[in-house]
Amino acid sequence: MSEPLPDLIEELVSDTQNDDPAAVLTTLANEDNVSIATLLEALPVEHRIPAWESLPQERKLDVLVEMRSDPREILIDATPDEEWTLMLADIEAEHLLELMDSLPNRLTALAFEALNTQQQRFFKEATQFNDNEIGHWISHEQLVLPISAKVKDGLRLMRHDIPTHGDTLFLLNGSGQFSAAVKLNQLFAAPPEMPLVELLVDNMPVLKGSDDIMQASLQVQRSGFAAVPVVDENNKLLGRLDITAASELVNENYERQVMASAGMDEDEDLFSPVAKSARNRALWLGINLVTAFLASWFIGLFEGTLQQVVALAVLMPVVASMGGIAGSQTLTLIVRGLALGQVTKANFRALMAKELKVGGVNGVVWALIIGVIAAFWFSDGALGLVICLAILINIVCAALAGVFLPMLLDKLNIDPALSGSVILTTVTDIVGFVAFLGLGTVFLL
Amino acid sequence: MSEPLPDLIEELVSDTQNDDPAAVLTTLANEDNVSIATLLEALPVEHRIPAWESLPQERKLDVLVEMRSDPREILIDATPDEEWTLMLADIEAEHLLELMDSLPNRLTALAFEALNTQQQRFFKEATQFNDNEIGHWISHEQLVLPISAKVKDGLRLMRHDIPTHGDTLFLLNGSGQFSAAVKLNQLFAAPPEMPLVELLVDNMPVLKGSDDIMQASLQVQRSGFAAVPVVDENNKLLGRLDITAASELVNENYERQVMASAGMDEDEDLFSPVAKSARNRALWLGINLVTAFLASWFIGLFEGTLQQVVALAVLMPVVASMGGIAGSQTLTLIVRGLALGQVTKANFRALMAKELKVGGVNGVVWALIIGVIAAFWFSDGALGLVICLAILINIVCAALAGVFLPMLLDKLNIDPALSGSVILTTVTDIVGFVAFLGLGTVFLL
């Protein structure tokens, strides 16, 4: 990146305001595809489309591949079909796999026709895997030699075919099964007649096509290799996962976690059309509404009590929110542990015990503090006792729910990062209100 | 990783239960350092320490480097000083920089003494940078030649010095300034007398030591190179940032975002001692308590109204939580945009306009739905009108706060991922309660 993003965004806004495609080109001249994609996403639609139209046609596909789906779809819709025919002329299977979800069917068909026979085969192979399996995302640029090859064969190959991010050669046996990997750097120092297999690296991980994308990508990141072989059930080499692709997949996964906590998609566009954005967010608001009305219904059970002791209504949010915060702390810790594979049935009991103790300690401490404040505020010792007990109960239940809920959701194959917090706060709201108002009914009436 | 983590965790728990160090060794025999670090973090302390003690001494430092601070500190405390002397025997600057925050001063001093002169210089150089600057995290394993070197010089170097994750040579001028990078793969095909500079790659990014770690690391990830040069203010080569280190930094940054949303640190231990964990979380609970009491105080202003119209108390959570959800959706989108550099003053007004429109649409839709439900539930049309208006006001204010607040915090250098949501929900709670109870006082009494 030649200039900081904010400056570039400002320049592009003014370039497009002045209706000056040449200026857009100058602004973007030294930027790589990812930076251009990031910039286009940051532009309001009325600037994004003219900036896109100013891009040289031969860069458009590469930029599109790097964008998030929602902002990308706006540009796909703005591109006329005759331009698509040119853009798709030398598309590869990998790009089509990346774009597929955003393309209308007629363009997917057009793109598929544009692939050569080999690329069509790669495309079909990849679509046999789910998009949460690593086989869907592999590339095929690996350097391959038979297991019997010598150093001189490796050197000959390297003189013709220099891959990006390729630091190893893969050796295959007669049935196309992955047998060994050799670091290219080793070829510099080795005698030409030496069998390559003598140079094999012994710590190369081998991924299965059906491996989970997050776990597989993390493995590539920490392997220390630029790319890792991916094989099928019979150990036949399918392709490779390189570290750039792995990093993109990991980053996307984290972004999904962050966005999911607010019930949003990682592809959400900063500048999506209002109707679309409102619709995207409505589901989460609707789910929340149901849970909020449920909490209200529980409060409604105590209408009589509230009428007589209005201080209970005043203090309700304190009880609910302390439980919500305590629970979400436990939940966040457990969700991370599940994502990293660190939370399992072997340590579940120990985790539960520890979180209950933490909840117990924080429950007692905060219950006492809040009890004293409430007692003084409303000059009512019994009210202080009631809120004290309610806070303690709610924080301990929150700890229980914070451990138990994500493990349960995970077992049910529901993403705990997405639905965990909304269910948890429903639990802590209801437990909090019922404990507080219930105890109030017993002790204060 | 030879076996899935859950199985390994189970094995380690039983190995340590049986007090069987040999079994621990067998379980961990084929695991890399990162996997062992992950496993140790997943063990309750009474299993973690014996598993750690069973590790071969020569692996301990490498495993420790890969762990999060909190679980790591437990192991550091459990290691006797005479073992430290052995473990630190061939420590490098990079490792010490990684461990420094967890080590007691006497061990940091011991480790510094154990560094050779060159490593001590690297260490001092790195500590001149803040730990959010990339200069703090660079390595020094780059291959370097003078700008006048020829292909044959490169080949000679490669015969002796084969770096991990090194796919390029860096060429320096007489003053040690970075001048060009050459891909090692290119050496295979080039004539020995050719000057290396003729092979230079033209898209190698160059980082400054003072660059922000997240932005710099993302640049390395998408560069397509295994490592990128890092220079000082005068363009003198300081070292390199390799893609493994860059990926670790990016992943940590995302984890911080996820954990910060619950007011926790990314170094939080699954099994930290109860007192420590309770203390870590108390701050966030305390901040929340202040905001909750603030909201209660606002509710208290309407005690008289609540006494007369108890339905208001029943429905309060609905108003507050709809605003909270709508606001946190906007907030999450803007926080991500800020982290990616996509939200700036050039698109701020457009973003504000769009979020206000989305808030307006969702506000009107949900206000009507909730108004109708409330009117029927309590058979009170005026109550329906009151909640309808309160919801609309709260959702629109939430959208405003969701855009404005993170930008303000970012300007003030406060992490919006950490404090954004607690401030936002305080705003939406108070606006919601005041609007609802205020309108109730006007229309329902």
Smallest CA–CA separation between A289 and chain B, in Å? 7
Final residue in a domain of this structure, among A134, A165, A180: A134
Looking at this protein, which amino acid is placed at residue A46?
E
Q: Check pLDDT > 80 for residue B32.
A: yes
Q: Which residue has the higher pLDDT, B415 or A384?
A: A384
Which residue shows structure tokens 């001028």? B173
Predicted complex: ipTM over 0.85: yes
Task: Write out chain B residues lying below 8 Å of A305, CB-based.
Answer: none
Residue B412 lies in a domain: yes
Q: Which of A6, A158, A311 sits opposite B188 (nearest CB)?
A: A158
Phi-psi region of A49 (alpha: psi -120 to 50; beta: other; left: phi over 0): alpha
Residue B149 and residue B206 in one domain: yes
**pLDDT at B223 (0 to 100):** 87
Residue A239 lies in a domain: yes
DSSP, collapsed to helix, strand or coil, labels residue B237 as strand
Q: Tokens standing for B363?
A: 């506000």
Are A367 and A388 spatial neighbours (Cβ–Cβ below 8 Å)? yes
Residue A242 and residue A183 in one domain: yes
Mutation target among B143, B342, B380 for the A interface, most CBs of A within 10 A: B342
Cα B122 to chain centroid distance, Å, stands at 25
Residues of chain A with pLDDT under 50: 1
Residue A291 and residue A148 in one domain: no
- Domain enclosing residue A255, as ranges: 143-260
Q: What is d(CA B426, CA B290) in angstroms, rounded to the nearest whole number?
A: 10
Please name the helix (run of DSSP H) or strand (run of DSSP E) that holds residue A144, with its range, or none. Answer: strand A143-146
Give the pLDDT confidence of B146-201 residue by residue, as tens digits. 999 999 999 888 877 665 557 889 999 999 999 999 988 888 888 999 999 999 99
Are B271 and A351 spatial neighbours (Cβ–Cβ below 8 Å)? yes
Smallest CA–CA separation between B34 and chain A, in Å? 8
Contact flag A292-B321 (C-beta cutoff 8 Å):
yes
Residue A161 lies in a domain: yes
Domain count for chain A, please give it. Answer: 3
Contact flag A32-B222 (C-beta cutoff 8 Å):
yes
Q: What is d(CA B390, CA B435) in angstroms, rounded to the nearest whole number?
A: 5
Task: Write out chain B residues lying below 8 Å of A163, CB-based.
Answer: 185
Report the candidate in A114, A339, A277 with the shortest Cα–Cα distance to residue B354.
Answer: A277
Contact flag B257-A261 (C-beta cutoff 8 Å):
no
In this structure, is the dihedral angle defined by the CA atoms of residues A377, A381, A384 and A390, taken in order, positive or negative? negative
Contact flag B274-A347 (C-beta cutoff 8 Å):
no
Give the pLDDT confidence of B280-299 residue by residue, as tens digits. 899 999 999 999 999 999 99
Q: What is d(CA A130, CA A109) in angstroms, rounded to the nearest whole number?
A: 20
Q: Are strands B143-146 and B168-172 parallel, antiparallel or unpaired?
A: parallel
| CATH number of the domain bearing residue B85 | 1.25.60.10
Smallest CA–CA separation between B84 and chain A, in Å? 26
Residue A255 lies in a domain: yes
Q: Which residue of B has its CA nearest to A10?
A: B346
Residue A295 and residue A230 in one domain: no
Residue B96 and residue B10 in one domain: yes
**pLDDT at B160 (0 to 100):** 73
Task: Write out chain B residues lying below 8 Å of A331, CB-based.
Answer: 262
Q: Which residue of A has its CA nearest to B37?
A: A342
Q: Tokens standing for A153?
A: 């064969």
**pLDDT at A1 (0 to 100):** 46
Residue A319 and residue A417 in one domain: yes
Give the number of other Cβ atoms within 10 Å of residue A3's Cβ.
Answer: 13
Q: Which of B284, B300, B318 sits opposite A296 (nearest CB)?
A: B318
Mutation target among B185, B208, B391 for the A interface, most CBs of A within 10 A: B185
Residue B237 and residue B155 in one domain: yes
Please report the DSSP string for A218-281 in residue order: HHHHHHSSSEEEEE-TT-BEEEEEEHHHHHHHHHHHHHHHHHHTTT--TT--TT--HHHHHHHH
Q: Check pLDDT > 50 for residue B1.
A: no
Cα A289 to chain centroid distance, Å, stands at 26
Average pLDDT of every residue of chain B? 92
Mutation target among A11, A310, A357, A377 for the B interface, most CBs of B within 10 A: A310
Residue B235 and residue B285 in one domain: no
Residue A269 lies in a domain: no
Which residue shows structure tokens 């990508």? A217
Report the candidate in A410, A445, A404 with the shortest Cα–Cα distance to residue A424.
Answer: A404
Residue A267 lies in a domain: no
Final residue in a domain of this structure, among B260, B286, B301: B260
Residue A246 lies in a domain: yes
Q: Which of B244, B314, B345 sits opposite A224 (nearest CB)?
A: B244
Final residue in a domain of this structure, among A102, A134, A166: A134
Mean pLDDT in residue range B3-31: 91
Are B197 and B218 spatial neighbours (Cβ–Cβ below 8 Å)? no
**pLDDT at A141 (0 to 100):** 83
Residue B266 lies in a domain: no
Contact flag A165-B4 (C-beta cutoff 8 Å):
no
Q: Which residue has the higher pLDDT, B1 or B31?
A: B31
Neighbouring-strand partners of residue B180: B171
Smallest CA–CA separation between B289 and chain A, in Å? 7
Residue B154 and residue B118 in one domain: no
Looking at this protein, which amino acid is placed at residue B104?
P
Contact flag A270-B333 (C-beta cutoff 8 Å):
yes
Residue B158 and residue B286 in one domain: no
Q: Which residue has the higher pLDDT, B225 or B401?
A: B401
**pLDDT at B163 (0 to 100):** 58
Task: Write out chain A residues lying below 8 Å of B316, CB-based.
Answer: 313, 316-317
CB-based burial label for B345 (10 Å; 0-12, 13-18, 19+): exposed
**pLDDT at B412 (0 to 100):** 93
Contacts of A106 (CB under 8 A, 6+ apart): none
Smallest CA–CA separation between A146 and chain B, in Å? 20
